[in-house]
Amino acid sequence: MDDGKYPILAREGWWHMMLATSAAVAVHYFAGPAWALPFWIALVFIVQFFRDPPRRIPDAPGAVICPADGKVIALGEVEDPYLKRPAQRVSVFMNVFNVHSNRSPVAGIVKQAWYSKGRFINASFDKSSLDNERNALWIRTDAGQDIVVVQVAGLMARRILCYVQSGGRMARGERYGFIRFGSRVDVYLPRDAHFEVTLGDSVKGGADVIARFAPTAQEK
């Protein structure tokens, strides 16, 4: 499945880009190119940060799709702090050069959403999963698997955007949120899920498969 019908620049960046462009043009016109150079550099940074390229969504049964671009920094069994169960967790860290659009790892119904205020420590630290500002979604697939995907703010992140609420339905790979300026996304899976990535892997949101459900629990 291809989600190419979407602006190449995330809507969250339109205002920032217009403001930066206006400032760069004004300084360039009134003060000259040398003074305007930092403003043009800022514009380039804004465009690359808010870029949101289309992705080809894998259509394999039982596949769990990566929710964000970045690097796999945590992988293993943990206690799911939201559903209070043993779970498998995959954590993806996004630096300022990664695409920051977030995507649903599975298709299903949003059963519940949690927003928690918190700190803004480095998102690569494991304790940031529970200490930092975050937004979590509990998604139940049509096959009955329960997945929790958590947007976690980072050292520079100061705003988590989420566009779905309890009761909403999401398609696999659908864009559902955005985190500004460095962060992480945690995915809590049932214990019978099998990882398809390893620590240190570079992954792409909406394009790479990070886990699969056991054959007996695959999506129909």
Pairwise CA distance, residues 149 & 45, whole Å: 28
Name the β-bridge partners of 203. Answer: 70
> In this predicted structure, what is the pLDDT of residue 14?
79
Same domain, 41 and 75: no
Same domain, 45 and 83: no
Same domain, 35 and 84: no
Pairwise CA distance, residues 61 & 218, whole Å: 6
Angle in degrees, CA 132, 164, 209, rounded to 5: 75
Least confident window among 93-107, 138-152, 190-204 = 93-107
**Active-site hit among 116, 129, 183, 202:** 183
The number of distinct structural domains making up the chain is 2
Same domain, 119 and 171: yes
The whole-number average pLDDT for the span 49-73 is: 88
Is 37 contained in some domain?
A: yes
Give residue-wise pLDDT tens across range 28-45.
988 888 999 988 988 888
113-140 as b/e: b if 16+ CB within 10 A:
beeeeeebeebbeeebbeebbbbbbbbe
CATH code for the domain of 116: 2.70.70.10
pLDDT of residue 2 exceeding 60, the answer is: no
Is 207 contained in some domain?
A: yes
User: 143: domain range?
Assistant: 63-217
Same domain, 43 and 111: no
Same domain, 146 and 181: yes
Same domain, 17 and 126: no
Is 183 one of the catalytic residues?
Answer: yes
Identify the residue with better confidence: 23 or 155: 23
> In this predicted structure, what is the pLDDT of residue 217?
41
Q: Structure pTM? A: 0.83
82 contacts 188 by C-beta, under 8 angstroms: yes
Identify the residue with better confidence: 219 or 215: 215
Q: What is the pLDDT of the chain when averaged over all its residues?
A: 85
DSSP class of 61: T
pLDDT of residue 4 exceeding 50, the answer is: yes
Same domain, 30 and 139: no
